[in-house]
């Protein structure tokens, strides 16, 4: 029994030593630029303020397609598990631009034959902080990440179009509001945007540890929730990303 135990210890020691000597683990860094398109998903019911002493009936609540872009740096470590299979543990920091647009249509406000269309667009410049674990197989990788977007600056553009069928009148009002982080903190319950995302990338190596990286991603934002309201504007985003990867080649 003692000899078997010694034999197993020797075998495991040899395997461990061989893994350390041959493993292609090492530092990993990715610098990339994501570009995508997102659809705003209104969640809940907005608090509406209309210029009539009566209730507003929401006929339609919808979101609009918007563009997004950014730049990020991912830093971490690539662990060589077996053969050409590895696990990456990465932290992410970067700049992100997102736009969210919701449209509310109101009809028959009280006894008035009036239809209002309210459009709100919020454009946000954020600092993105997150984590991105990845599974690597050769030059392919799949990642499931999460984090928060901290707004640095935002612009809210609102437009109200009113049509009064009774007197046949048309009105259009527009307003633009610029917000910093303190303004956003005062306006919303949670002044950050949590997100989760799925990534798929392919690396084209020039040398053993430098590659051109190209991939796609699917991202979901949990939008701001206005104080004293259950309404928020989430967003589903799909896009592509290109960049440079510094990491050991798995083979």
Q: Kindly report, residue by residue over 109-160, the tens digit of the pLDDT.
A: 555 555 677 788 899 999 999 999 999 998 999 999 999 999 999 998 887 7
pLDDT at 108: 59
Regarding pTM above 0.85, the answer is: no
174 or 175, higher pLDDT: 175
Closest to 202 in 3D by CA, of 250, 152, 164, 153: 250
Place of tokens 């090492």: 26
Measured between alpha carbons, how far is residue 121 from residues 11, 29, 108, 196, 209 in Å? 64, 35, 24, 22, 43
pLDDT of residue 12: 45
Spatial CA neighbour of 68 closest among 190, 242, 240, 243: 240
* Residue whose structure tokens are 């598990």: 81
Q: What are the structure tokens assigned to 156, written together?
A: 């809210």
Higher pLDDT, 58 or 80: 80
| Residue 15 scores a pLDDT above 60 | no
In the chain, the domains with their CATH numbers are 24-54+63-100+124-158+182-246 (2.40.160)
Identify the pLDDT of residue 169.
Answer: 57
pLDDT above 90 coverage of the chain, percent: 45
For residue 57, name the pLDDT band (cuts at 50, 70, 90).
low
Give the separation between CA 26 and CA 10, rounded to whole angstroms: 26
């Amino acid at each position: 029994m003692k000899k078997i135990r010694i034999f197993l210890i020797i075998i495991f020691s040899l395997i461990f030593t061989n893994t350390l000597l041959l493993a292609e683990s090492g530092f990993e860094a990715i610098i990339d630029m994501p570009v995508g398109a997102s659809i705003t998903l209104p969640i809940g019911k907005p608090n509406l303020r209309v210029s009539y002493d009566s209730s507003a009936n929401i006929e339609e609540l919808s979101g609009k397609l918007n563009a997004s872009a950014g730049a990020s740096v991912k830093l971490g470590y690539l662990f060589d598990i077996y053969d050409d299979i590895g696990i990456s543990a990465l932290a992410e920091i970067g700049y992100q631009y997102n736009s969210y647009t919701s449209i509310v249509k109101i009809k028959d406000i009280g006894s008035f034959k009036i239809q209002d269309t309210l459009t709100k667009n919020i454009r946000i410049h954020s600092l993105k902080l997150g984590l991105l674990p990845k599974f690597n197989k050769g030059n392919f990788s799949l990642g499931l990440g999460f984090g928060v977007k901290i707004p640095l600056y935002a612009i809210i553009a609102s437009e109200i179009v009113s049509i009064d069928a009774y007197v046949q009148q048309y009105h259009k009002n527009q307003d633009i509001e610029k917000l910093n982080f303190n303004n956003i903190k005062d306006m919303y319950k949670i002044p950050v945007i949590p997100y989760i995302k799925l990534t798929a990338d392919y690396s084209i190596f020039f040398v053993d540890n430098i590659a051109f990286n190209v991939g796609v991603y699917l991202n979901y934002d949990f939008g701001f929730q206005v104080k004293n309201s259950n309404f928020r504007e989430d967003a589903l985003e799909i896009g592509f990303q290109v960049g440079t990867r510094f990491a050991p080649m798995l083979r």
